């Protein structure tokens, strides 16, 4: 019998349920939201899930300070406002934040480099949770280390809060290229490959046989336009996360969707257009139509202009 899912015969029934939800999220858009009104706009526009947080990456970047898990009150309000799955972020290594998020009933926990890391050596032991986790990765070795720890979904890190897709592209191309390279190796060469990737042999062998990750592979970090979404999907992403691209006006100022109808309209137009372009990523005519719908855009920040110490993607290991 063939493997029916990307997780195939991989892992326990708990992990199958976790990756199962990730399967349901394929081919869609997961949107960062900071309040109930934004969550409603996301759902209305056709988002498959929302990520509840207090500040989107662009604001965290502009304002600085320590970025932490969102207030449970906000998360509960958002859970109460929409029928689609709700995700929330915990700091890297901060398993107590993750315990709180699980207790609140969030559907997916993002152990995220967007927040300030809480542990410089250890990521969360994600097997210890029944709630599934998504983690960022820049390359295959990093992705497989997160999967070893129990991640049920991988996303490219990209460079969050920039509106510059270049690093999401680099990370996706790297992961895909490194997977392809494994498929042509003989069994005896995979041991050395595992050593080089700093990943467990069994997982490396699984990727070599399947040519893909044993969990869904999504994309995040700098996706801001319908064409960005189509690009990432064509490069092999199975779903896209859009953070600052929908609800931001200036670098540190969100659109006022609660009080200003014109700015609400602008956010709705961006959200709808990205959803359409993600489903029809292979149809440039429809991506063009979707792009025409967009009113305004996030004022971006070229990732190349960011100082090394300010990068978020280098957090996590």
Partner 1 sequence: MTTSSTETATKGPIIGVLALQGAYDAHAKTIAALGATPRLVRLPTELKGLDGLIMPGGESTTMLKFLEQRGFFDLLKDFVHKVPTFGTCAGVILLAKDVTNPAQKSLGALDVTVERNAYGRQIDSAILHAESKLPGGPLEMVFIRAPRITRTGAPVEVLASRDENPVLVREGHLLAATFHPELSHDSRVHQLFLNMVRDHKENPA
Q: Which residues bind partner 1 (CB under 8 A)?
A: 1-6, 9, 13, 16-17, 20-21, 23-28, 43, 45-49, 79, 83-85, 102, 105-108, 130-132, 233-236, 238, 272, 275-276, 279-280, 282-283
d(CA 80, CA 36): 9
* Nearer to partner 1 among residue 1 and residue 121 (C-beta): 1
d(CA 38, CA 36): 5
Minimum distance between the CB of residue 106 and partner 1, rounded to whole angstroms?
8
Question: Which residues are part of the catalytic machinery?
Answer: 89
* Nearer to partner 1 among residue 257 and residue 276 (C-beta): 276
Helix axes 36-45, 261-279, angle to 10 degrees: 40
Minimum distance between the CB of residue 312 and partner 1, rounded to whole angstroms?
26
* Nearer to partner 1 among residue 177 and residue 195 (C-beta): 177
Instruction: Quote the longest CA-to-CA distance of the chain.
Output: 63
Minimum distance between the CB of residue 163 and partner 1, rounded to whole angstroms?
24
Asked whether the CA dihedral 198, 143, 71, 309 is positive or negative, the reply is positive
Helix axes 140-148, 166-183, angle to 10 degrees: 80
* Nearer to partner 1 among residue 60 and residue 281 (C-beta): 281
Angle at 169 between CA 163 and CA 173, to 5 degrees: 170
d(CA 230, CA 232): 6
């Amino acid at each position: 019998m063939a493997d029916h899912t990307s997780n195939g015969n991989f892992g326990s029934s708990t992990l199958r349920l976790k990756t199962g939800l990730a399967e349901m999220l394929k081919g869609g858009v997961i949107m960062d939201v900071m309040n109930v009104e934004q969550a409603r706009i996301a759902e209305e526009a056709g988002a498959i899930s929302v990520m509840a947080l207090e500040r989107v990456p662009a604001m965290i970047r502009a304002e600085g300070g320590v970025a932490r898990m969102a207030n449970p009150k906000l998360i509960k309000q958002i859970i109460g406002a929409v029928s689609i799955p709700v995700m929330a972020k915990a700091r890297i290594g901060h398993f107590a934040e993750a315990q709180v998020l699980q207790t609140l009933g969030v559907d997916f926990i993002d152990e995220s480099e967007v927040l300030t890391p809480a542990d410089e050596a250890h990521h969360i032991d994600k097997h210890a949770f029944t709630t599934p986790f998504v983690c960022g990765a820049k390359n295959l070795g990093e992705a497989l280390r997160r999967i070893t720890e129990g991640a049920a979904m991988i996303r490219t890190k990209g460079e969050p809060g920039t509106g510059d897709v270049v690093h999401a592209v680099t990370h996706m191309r790297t992961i895909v290229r490194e997977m392809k390279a494994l498929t042509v190796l003989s069994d005896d060469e995979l041991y050395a490959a595992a050593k080089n990737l700093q990943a467990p042999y069994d997982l490396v062998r699984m990727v070599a046989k399947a040519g893909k990750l044993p969990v869904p592979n999504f994309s995040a970090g700098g996706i801001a336009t319908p064409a960005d979404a189509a690009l990432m999907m064509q490069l092999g992403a199975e779903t896209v996360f859009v953070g600052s691209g929908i609800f931001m006006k200036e670098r540190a100022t969100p659109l006022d969707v609660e009080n200003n109808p014109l700015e609400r309209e602008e956010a709705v137009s961006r959200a709808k257009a990205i959803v359409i372009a993600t489903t029809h990523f292979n149809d440039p005519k429809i991506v063009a139509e979707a792009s025409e719908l967009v009113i305004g855009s996030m004022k971006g920040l070229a990732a190349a202009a960011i100082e090394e110490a300010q990068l978020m993607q280098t957090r996590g290991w």
